[in-house]
Structure 1
């Protein structure tokens, strides 16, 4: 059975540096009729579990550890038995949301996750958060970028643990080198393509934060 990408949007809040904002998050489910992974278990474990259905959830992959991307991860893991995977550089952020529940394993740059016959390569792309990662699935002509790259530019870098020159370097070195037709499936909002974003780097730099 061919692998596919399922998508749902969940709603909740994002809190950091003393502020709280209402947000809608993209949750991506990648796999086939038997095995899947969830990319970013945001807000609603029940809705995500319903979307997974009777398929085996092999892993819950966190693109980074801002609370809106990980708040439902432990509950989803508890009900499915799936392991939570996070880049170690985001452990300090993780502990702010889940001080009593550590992730089950690390994500490392260059490692490959395989589900439903599809390989996803982990790309460490710091800037929005120290341990931010993207997941490149060449067979699906897709990269899952979390909050590193959006339609229209880089993710926000105006809060703690973030850095604008770092995120631009990550996008230039790790993402814009991918094929132009690669679909960019983001952590919030609409998808885009690498080609659509690649001509705007200087505008981002000039715009700064």
Structure 2
């Protein structure tokens, strides 16, 4: 059975550097009728549990540790027994939201997270956050980019722990080298493709300076 991709949109708040903003997040589920991976457990653990249903949750993968992408992760792990995966470089951000909990496992560049026939390869893409990662499955023809790449350009780099030249380097070297037909499934908003975004790299660089 070919793994399927499901999107759940949850609402809550993003808080950093003393500011708070209302946001809607994409929670992605990749799996089949028996097991599933959750990418970015955002805001609403009950809604995520309902989307998982009676399937075995094999992993909770965090694309980065801004609070709006991880605030439901420890409780989801507690209820299901699944392990939370995070890149080590984002631990300082994680601790701002969950000072008394640690993620269960460390994401490494090149590692593959498997579930129901999906092979999600970890691409370390710092810039929006130091430990930001994208998850690429060539078989499914998709890359889950978190807040690294959106329809229309890079994720924000105007707050703590972010760096514009670094996110441009990550996008140029790790994402725009993927096949142009690769579907880009983002942390917020609508999907795009690598081919749709690649021609605009120089515009983003000019805009960012």
Question: TM range, normalised to the smaller chain?
Answer: over 0.9
What RMSD, in angstroms, separates the aligned Cα atoms of the two structures?
0.6
Residue 79 of structure 2 aligns to a residue whose secondary structure is helix
1:162 aligned partner: 162
Shift of 1:117: 1.0
Q: Any unmatched runs of 5+ in structure 1?
A: none
Shift of 1:139: 1.0
Q: What is the rounded CA distance, in whole Å, between the counterparts of 1:125 and 1:138 in structure 2? A: 17
1:77 aligned partner: 77
1:207 aligned partner: 207
2:117 aligned partner: 117
Superposed CA deviations along residues 104-155 of structure 1, whole A, max 9, x for unmatched, are: 0000000111110111100000000000000001111000000000000000
Q: What is the rounded CA distance, in whole Å, between the counterparts of 1:113 and 1:8 in structure 2? A: 20
Q: Any unmatched runs of 5+ in structure 2?
A: none
Aligned length: 209
1:142 aligned partner: 142
TM-score by length of 1: 0.99
2:105 aligned partner: 105
Q: What is the rounded CA distance, in whole Å, between the counterparts of 2:207 and 2:35 in structure 1? A: 42
Q: What is the rounded CA distance, in whole Å, between the counterparts of 1:28 and 1:9 in structure 2? A: 9
Q: What is the rounded CA distance, in whole Å, between the counterparts of 2:5 and 2:27 in structure 1? A: 10
Q: What is the rounded CA distance, in whole Å, between the counterparts of 1:138 and 1:8 in structure 2? A: 22
Q: What is the rounded CA distance, in whole Å, between the counterparts of 2:106 and 2:83 in structure 1? A: 10
Q: What is the rounded CA distance, in whole Å, between the counterparts of 2:3 and 2:198 in structure 1? A: 28
Are residue 186 (structure 1) and residue 189 (structure 2) matched?
A: no
Q: What is the rounded CA distance, in whole Å, between the counterparts of 2:2 and 2:132 in structure 1? A: 29
Q: What is the rounded CA distance, in whole Å, between the counterparts of 1:17 and 1:62 in structure 2? A: 20
Q: What is the rounded CA distance, in whole Å, between the counterparts of 1:85 and 1:33 in structure 2? A: 22
Superposed CA deviations along residues 65-113 of structure 1, whole A, max 9, x for unmatched, are: 0000000001111111100000000000000000000000000000111
TM-score by length of 2: 0.99
Residue 109 of structure 1 aligns to a residue whose secondary structure is coil
Runs of 4+ in 1 over 4 A off after TM superposition: none
Q: What is the rounded CA distance, in whole Å, between the counterparts of 1:146 and 1:71 in structure 2? A: 15
Q: What is the rounded CA distance, in whole Å, between the counterparts of 1:88 and 1:18 in structure 2? A: 24
Q: What is the rounded CA distance, in whole Å, between the counterparts of 1:66 and 1:202 in structure 2? A: 27
